[in-house]
Amino acid sequence: MCEETDSITATLDVLEEHLDHVDTKITQIQAEIKAFDLEAVQPPRFKGLNNVDNARATLKTFFMVLLDLNVYKKDLENQLIEQSEQMLDLQSKVSILSETSSLTDA
């Protein structure tokens, strides 16, 4: 039983490190968002777009990048939710194991 508790504790430590890393990234992104100056944004220049086909290709590329970014963001959110659920599950297992261990020691 001690090995199982150690294994769960080690897994919790790893998940906590991952969560700390994600929290750091979130804080960094939030700082970048706060520092973003909307007035400094310049409208896109389409000097190289001489015809409709070039404009379509440019817009297609733009929207594909935007879609990829949204998919990545959604995947990241799902991973965070999954890790949080795993962490809660492991914490409950550790709690149950410690209660069981304290009952068997008594």
pLDDT at residue 8, as a whole number: 84
- pTM, 2 dp: 0.43
Distances (CA, A) of 15 to 1, 10, 31, 101: 21, 9, 24, 24
SS3 36: coil
- Report the distance separating Cα 57 and Cα 51, nearest Å: 10
Residue 26, pLDDT above cutoff 70: yes
Cβ partners under 8 Å of residue 75, min gap 6:
none
pLDDT-derived band at 7 (thresholds 50, 70, 90) equals confident
More reliable by pLDDT, 101 or 69? 69
The count of domains in the chain is: 1
pLDDT above 80: residue 92:
yes
Mean pLDDT of 44-57: 74
- Residue 59 domain boundaries: 2-105
Give the Cα separation of 79 and 88 in Å (integer). 14
pLDDT value of position 29: 87
Q: Is residue 38 scored above 80 in pLDDT?
A: no
Residue 96 pLDDT > 80, yes or no?
yes
User: What tens digit of pLDDT does each residue of 52-80 get?
Assistant: 787 788 889 999 998 988 888 898 888 88
What pLDDT score was predicted for residue 30?
86
